[in-house]
Structure 1
């Protein structure tokens, strides 16, 4: 059973793949993304790269527990491109990803059924060529404590394998730490019970 605080994504942009159907060419790509703002520049770049492409269709999904997604047919018949691409994102159970397919028309119409099949296949091959990785969802906390107990705090951080995201060491020390979401409760209790340490949940 998959842990609640694990999600799958891709490690890096996939290599370009090419799927052909009745002389139409479908170039497929997969990109890791962390926000919707990244989508437009990537699509613009693909339009420049494939300046003879009639359509650059795509779908993306963001989020680790609650998902946000969009599918775009870019002028192809309704739901014949974006949704079949999105279907592959779902089939591979990945998130924080953009999958795009550029189509260069080969002179023969494929019909809606043919388009669905072609876009789905191009998206599938692109994702098969991507390196899919498992990441853990993190919980973040801020610790406030006085300098004299720094050793004690650091010892616990080291023992528990807690990640320090940022630190400000002055008279009052402020540390931002991150742990796996499933260990968040235990970490909060651990520092709550320590004298002279204040812990605040960030997100």
Structure 2
């Protein structure tokens, strides 16, 4: 992933301003936010946001009492394969919040803390598309991918060993339960447990 300092050199790159300018400040704490999105189709350029979940992790603690779990009110035409994965039907989505409210709540929740996820580049691309439309900037946060952490750990011990990077394979190897797979909150909790284990092993 391109580091933040390098992204700022891209012509036309916009820093957060006004209410959101604190997002670009260096983070000095010891927390991360684990995040996951579900979308209408599996395409980072066209997929529409259907749900967002996020939890704060501090050390080995997942702070579920402070979790963010939002369904977006969307009339997006949904790929039947996607519905079979995340189970978000149109009637379920009609009870959700406006996408602008979901993005606003997410930015308030995340702040300038590092963001963790499984193949987080996809979630990052989806969210940045909406944030650009609403506020004319992109997330400046540091991003951490558990798939990358897992690969580094495996290759350090077995350099020639092929690494399986399926969500379920990583969870099984780390002895982490897969909780309500392909729901945003279920994936977030499992990913948070993976992160805690990987960072512990790294240390």
Fold shared, TM-score > 0.5 on shorter chain: no
Compare CA radii of gyration and give the structure with the larger one. Answer: 1
Q: Tell me the TM-score normalised to structure 2 length.
A: 0.20
**Larger helix fraction of residues:** 2
Q: Tell me the TM-score normalised to structure 1 length.
A: 0.20
